[in-house]
Every structure is written in structure tokens, then in C-alpha cells.
Chains A and B, each alone.
Chain A
Amino acid sequence: MKINVAFVEKILILFIREELSKFDYKKGVLGISGGLDSSVCAFLSTKALKPANVIGLIMPYGKTPSRDLDEALKLAQQLKIKSKIIDISPMLDIYYKKYPTKNRILMGNKMARERMSILYDFSAREKALVLGTSNKTELLLGYGTIYGDMASAVNPLGDLYKTQVRQLAIHLGVPERIVKKTPSAGLWPGQTDEKELGLTYEEIDKILFQWVDKRKSIKEINDSGFPKEDVEKIINLVKNSEFKRKLPQIPKISERTVGHDFLFPHDWGK
């Protein structure tokens, strides 16, 4: 699972640069949370596009720990990118006044979609492409909000496991306090991914790598020493989240149907 970080950095920078120029964009916009993934994406985008062409939106909800906010601000200053703090509490609180809930998952999803909505608004205002920050672990587990943080125009980190993003972060010079921070989706105070998933990212990534990249069967993975219940749990998360990695199903009834047999490339004419 060890990667050549210099090589990966180079590919991802070329990717960001090429994707933007293909669609005639000079600027990129991304949400920065003070966490690992968005910091790495901000570093890469800055290298690919120059600081003046990167817009980092910091979008706290009232109870976001102020440490994260500080971290995000410091990062923006360090990279000299344009940044803006947009508090999403007023929009959400108006809604929750009318439709109250105590379900923290519901609230987390709504926050993620509010942030997405702002990112896409800024995308149009600033003519900036939305850069996603979902890593391969999250995408595979479905550990994200569909049409929320999983929505973007291009997603540079989508083929790197969380632990690989960490390797890249160290190489890029992401501040140590961010690299070492306990990963959290920030759904509620004290929430951590690993507590919620019941496994560490090291454990999850090793299992996913064997199954996805090395094409090992579940039996082979169990036999190589990974606890059966852990493997099962991981595979089930992947299985039950396939819908998050696909466009909505369309019933095929005509001769030629979008997504079924009307299949043109994304990069058509680019």
C-alpha cells in the first residue's frame, strides 16, 4: 500500500491542470474543513493552479469545533489561496425550526448538501470547477453523503486510500497537526470515523486493498488472517453503497437510452 508519493503528486497535479483546461476553467473551488483530505486537495490544487486560482470555502455549522475552523483558516493563509468563511447555521436552523430532528445523521447529511449547494453556487459565480475531496476508502464504504460531499466536478483523491492520502500529505508538507488529527466527518462533537466504523483506517484499507486491488476472494482474505467479522462488515458496507457511486437508474424502454446504450465519453471533443 506504500506509494511513490512524488509520482502520485505529479500525476494528480497534471490531472487537475488538464481537467480544468479541457473545460476552459482557470479556477477551482473546494470546501476546506481543516481535515486531512481537503488539506491535501488544497495543496495539490495550489500547486496545479497557482494560489490565486484556488478558492477555499470554509463552511462551519454553529457547533463545528473552532479548532477545525482555525486549522482551515491557517491552511488557507499558508497556501495563500482565496478563502471565505460561510456559516451555514442560518440556512439550516431556519429549516430545522420548521422540521426539527435530533437525528445526527440526518443533520450531517443536510449540512453536507448545504455545503455542496454553496460550492456549486460559487462554481458558477467564480467560474471555478468544484474539486472533490473524497478518498477511495470513503467512496468504497459509502462513507459520505450522496449529492453532498460526494458531489464534485473532478475528484483528484478518489483512487487513493485514506492511509495513502496520509502518505501524500506528509510528502506535500501538510502541517503535522492535520496529518495526525483523528479523522472525523464532523457530524457531531467528538465524532470520529474510526469509532463510528468500528475499525481503524489502517485495518479497513488493508482489507479493501486485498479485495479491490488484489482481487482476492473473501475466503482468501479471511485465511490470510483478517477477522471474519471485520471483512464481512467492510464488504457489506461496500455492497450496500453501490448506489452512491452510480447515476440514478433509468428504466430502459426506448431503442436507445441515456446510460444504457447512449454512451458518449465525458471528454467528448476535449
Chain B
Amino acid sequence: MKVGLVQISSCLGDVQKNINTHLNFIEKAKKKNVDLLIFPELSLTGYSLKDLTQDVAINPTDSDIIDRLKAQSHGISIVFGFVEEKRRGLFFNSSAFISEEKIIHIHRKVFLPTYGMFEEGKLFSSGNNFQTFITPYGPAGMMICYDFLHYGASYLLFVGGSEIILIISAAPGRGLTNRESFASSHMWELMGEAISRFSSSFVIYCNRVGFEEGISFAGGSFIYNPAGKLIAKAPYIDENFLIHEINLDEIRSTRKKMPYKRDEKAEIILEALKRIVRNHEN
């Protein structure tokens, strides 16, 4: 399966401009026989929306923007980010998985960062699920940016049967070290390695680049294979269109060797979790 990661910058608040960028990349991807094309978080709108959030929202059941994307999804699956108005006046930071003219799944960001430089809790309702869904390439799950830094979210996809974990992101670069990257980029890679290895799934992370409001989005999109090995990596900070062929049979061979998935005891975890949460032990 050929995966394409579109590590770009979006035009803030200009959906018309961004949809054209999306369509261009879809066309390019088709020429290169990409099966699954992934755009970053809020790719249709840009990230630092503030009061623009409500103006750029889309209801996917009634949107010519989404219809235009759907129309291009023959023989290619597309993941992108947008502001979703699910019900009148309820806005979500969402990602959609589109294939063969259908929306197969919408994930609504559960963990909305609202601290320091982030204010998503002021702008969005939070989603309430991490659901594994069936794609043409097998069961998969989606997360949006900060979702992925809460490892319980990955656990739910692992238990739910996901073999491919897709993360779309608008992660700012933060912290300087002696390395030629932001300190924060290392955090994502660490999580990518750990989750791919211990869920024996592919972890595919697509981050954006560019500046908004002085914030530099760090890029560094990546793919880890089910054995926790980094198999593709886009550069930091610079725009990039990364195409990489992944071998889904690696899921089988890895799980034969390390049966984390077979040996998982979700029932025990569930009961223990119930006890902990109900007894307010946390």
C-alpha cells in the first residue's frame, strides 16, 4: 500500500483556497498511485482560527466542499482535517476518512489542548470516542494531534483492532536543544515508536508546517512499522510530499513474533478502570 503524507501549510480561514490545494495534491497522488493520502489537522481551514472557527465550519452531510473531495476519491482514500458543525452551533475539530465517494469515518478530537498557547477548549466541543473502522486496507483508527499524546487513546484503538493508526496534527515546534530540531518533535517520535511497537500496528503521523501567529509548525511527519521501526520521515519545518510504500503483511509477521494483541486482557483493564474511576482513586 502506498501512503502519501502532505506536509504543507494551509491558508488561515480560506477554505476555497485550501480546497484547491487539496485537489491539486489528490491529482498528484493519483499520478503516483498513492492509495492513502493524508493531510494535516484542520487542513481545510488552518489552525489558529480563534473567532473564525464558526465561519469556516462545514456540515459534511450538506457541503459542496466535501462533495468535491468525495468526487475525487475513486481508487484513493483521503484523510483531512476540518471544522465540523455537527449540530447547529456545535463545532468540532474533526478528521474525515473518505473513500470511493463515501465518508467512511469521522473522528472528532477528544483531547482539546487548552493550556499555555492553546485555546481549543474555548473553540470546540470535544468528541467522545476512539473508534476503529474498516478501511480498504484493514481496520484503522484516527486521532488528532493532542489525542495521540494521551496513550489511553491508542490503547482503545489497539483493543478495537486497529492495524493502522493515523494521526493528523498541527503541532507547533517548541523548545530549543543542541539538536537540529525542536525539542517537541522528539516527543511525537517517542510516542510513535512506543505505540507502533507495543500495539504492533503501523503508526502514520502527518504534521503541518508554516507559521501562523508567529507559531512555527514543526513538520517531521513519519511512519513507524508494527515493529516500532521508523520507515519514513519528512524533514522538519519544510514543506514536503512524502510518499512511502508500506507492507501490510508486516502486521502479521510482527504479531506472530510478539503476540501483544493476542495476549491483551482488555476485560481486566476495563474492570480495574471502572473500579479506579468509580472509587475516585485517581
Residues of A within 8 A of B (CB): 2-4, 6-8, 10-11, 14-15, 18-19, 262-270
Residues of B within 8 A of A (CB): 11-14, 46, 48-52, 173, 176-181, 210-214, 216, 237
Known: A11-B216, A18-B210. A264 touches B180 (CB 8 A): no
| CB pair B12 A4 closer than 8 Å | no
**How far in angstroms is the closest Cβ of chain A from B179?**
6
| CB pair B211 A268 closer than 8 Å | no
Contacts of B48 in A (CB 8 A): 265, 267
Task: Report the bound CA distance from A204 to B57 in whole Å.
Answer: 46
A265 touches which of B49, B176, B180, B210 (Cβ 8 Å): B49
Closest Cβ neighbor of B122 among chain A residues? A263
**How far in angstroms is the closest Cβ of chain B from A87?**
34
| CB pair B237 A14 closer than 8 Å | yes
Task: Report the bound CA distance from A264 to B213 in whole Å.
Answer: 11
Known: A264-B51, A269-B13. A2 touches B213 (CB 8 A): no
Known: A19-B211, A265-B12, A268-B13. A6 touches B180 (CB 8 A): yes
Interface contacts beyond A265-B13, A265-B49, A267-B46: sample of 11 additional A-B pairs, CB < 8 Å, sorted by A:
A4-B177, A4-B179, A14-B237, A15-B214, A262-B51, A264-B50, A265-B52, A267-B12, A267-B211, A268-B12, A268-B52
**How far in angstroms is the closest Cβ of chain B from A158?**
8
Most chain B CB inside 10 Å of its own CB: which residue of A10, A263, A268? A268
Known: A6-B180, A10-B237. A265 touches B211 (CB 8 A): no
| CB pair B213 A15 closer than 8 Å | no
Closest Cβ neighbor of A1 among chain B residues? B176
Contacts of A8 in B (CB 8 A): 176
Contacts of B178 in A (CB 8 A): 2-4
| CB pair B14 A18 closer than 8 Å | no
| CB pair A7 B52 closer than 8 Å | no
Closest 9 CB pairs of A and B: A7-B180, A263-B50, A3-B176, A267-B12, A265-B48, A263-B51, A18-B211, A264-B51, A265-B50
Most chain A CB inside 10 Å of its own CB: which residue of B178, B181, B214? B214
Task: Report the bound CA distance from A263 to B210 in whole Å.
Answer: 21
Contacts of A264 in B (CB 8 A): 50-52
Task: Report the bound CA distance from A2 to B50 in whole Å.
Answer: 34
B212 touches which of A262, A263, A267 (Cβ 8 Å): A267
| CB pair B12 A7 closer than 8 Å | no
**How far in angstroms is the closest Cβ of chain A from B46?**
8
Task: Report the bound CA distance from A3 to B179 in whole Å.
Answer: 8
**How far in angstroms is the closest Cβ of chain B from A60?**
31
Known: A262-B51, A264-B50, A264-B52. A269 touches B12 (CB 8 A): yes
B211 touches which of A3, A4, A10, A15 (Cβ 8 Å): A15
Contacts of A18 in B (CB 8 A): 210-211
**How far in angstroms is the closest Cβ of chain A from B135?**
34
| CB pair A7 B176 closer than 8 Å | yes
Known: A7-B179, A263-B51, A264-B51. A269 touches B14 (CB 8 A): yes
Task: Report the bound CA distance from A15 to B173 in whole Å.
Answer: 13
Task: Report the bound CA distance from A264 to B46 in whole Å.
Answer: 13
Contacts of A3 in B (CB 8 A): 176, 178
| CB pair B176 A4 closer than 8 Å | yes
Closest Cβ neighbor of B178 among chain A residues? A4
**How far in angstroms is the closest Cβ of chain A from B234?**
15
Task: Report the bound CA distance from A268 to B56 in whole Å.
Answer: 12
**How far in angstroms is the closest Cβ of chain A from B183?**
10
A11 touches which of B50, B51, B237 (Cβ 8 Å): B237
Task: Report the bound CA distance from A19 to B216 in whole Å.
Answer: 11
What are 16 sample pairs from A and B whose C-beta atoms fall under 8 A apart?
A: A2-B178, A3-B178, A7-B176, A7-B180, A15-B216, A19-B211, A263-B50, A264-B50, A265-B13, A265-B52, A265-B213, A267-B12, A267-B48, A267-B211, A269-B11, A269-B13
